[in-house]
Amino acid sequence: MSTVTRHEMPNGDVVFYDDPKHSYWREHDELRGKCSGRLTGASTISKVFDLDAFGPGAGWGAKMTREGVSILAADGLAEPDSLAWLASPDGIYDRLRDARLRHTDKRDDAADRGTNVHDVVLASLATTGAAPDLPSLTEDEAGYARGLLGWWLDREPVGERSELVVTDLENGTAGRLDLICTIDGRRFLVDLKTGKQLRTSAHVQARGYEWMYTVSGGEPVDDVLLVLARADGSWLECECAASERDWLDAVQVYRSAAGIRRRQGAVERAAA
């Protein structure tokens, strides 16, 4: 059974989504089961606006690594001989990897958490208007789910579309927006995030969804909202602070960076 789904836009453009690979494509050969013409996801594009590679982001990664090492070391203190892995960077990395305590594992867990909250809570609210059963979520996920439920009950949105694939084939981008809804007589595109705070890239990503939604033939919305659901069950709503120009600049910077990498790679291969 194919894991690739076909999505046709109101303007006739078609995008294929490969679920296991979380990737968007221009073409899909059903006979060969192969996709071609990869499109870049909105979340990937928008990350060029997170300028803290050597700031808070790096600090968070280092903190996660320290916590992971301390957890493993504490488990081995009763048997000092079992702490030999601490003697080398490779040994430390291997132990962190095996225990899924690297900062990248934490990042991936956060992404899975957001996906689960979307799939279980947002899908139910958008399609039926009813609160879903939360036992299928972990304790951590349930806190974020309560935040989303709180926002829904307070703001009373009327869902129109959810989990909608959008694209801009000219710029080679695609993504899946969370929700199109009406609140107090105004139509909004809503992007849900889970965590402690909204990053700059979240605003750019949400504006990218609006751009692609409109380019692919969707009826323009009145505004774009970001909703942050927190672990303690609270929530924050704010208007998108990024402009269309910000999104298009992000696309251009990402493409330029990719071009530089290709040219540099060609130079290195020629030199080798």
pLDDT at 81 over 70: no
What type of residue sits at position 63?
Answer: K
What mean pLDDT comes out for the span 261-265?
88
Q: In this predicted structure, what is the pLDDT of residue 120?
A: 67
pLDDT tens per residue across span 20-32: 888 999 999 998 9
191 in Cβ contact with 177 (< 8 Å): yes
Q: In this predicted structure, what is the pLDDT of residue 122?
A: 74
Q: In this predicted structure, what is the pLDDT of residue 56?
A: 47
Q: In this predicted structure, what is the pLDDT of residue 226?
A: 98
pLDDT band (50, 70, 90) for residue 62: low
Q: In this predicted structure, what is the pLDDT of residue 77?
A: 56
Closest to 162 (Cα-Cα) out of 195, 215, 121, 201 = 121
68 or 44: which leads in pLDDT: 44
pLDDT band (50, 70, 90) for residue 16: very high
pTM score above 0.85:
no
pLDDT at 58 over 90: no
Q: In this predicted structure, what is the pLDDT of residue 96?
A: 66
Q: In this predicted structure, what is the pLDDT of residue 132?
A: 61
pLDDT band (50, 70, 90) for residue 265: confident
Q: In this predicted structure, what is the pLDDT of residue 108?
A: 46
Highest mean pLDDT among 76-80, 103-107, 220-224, 257-261: 220-224
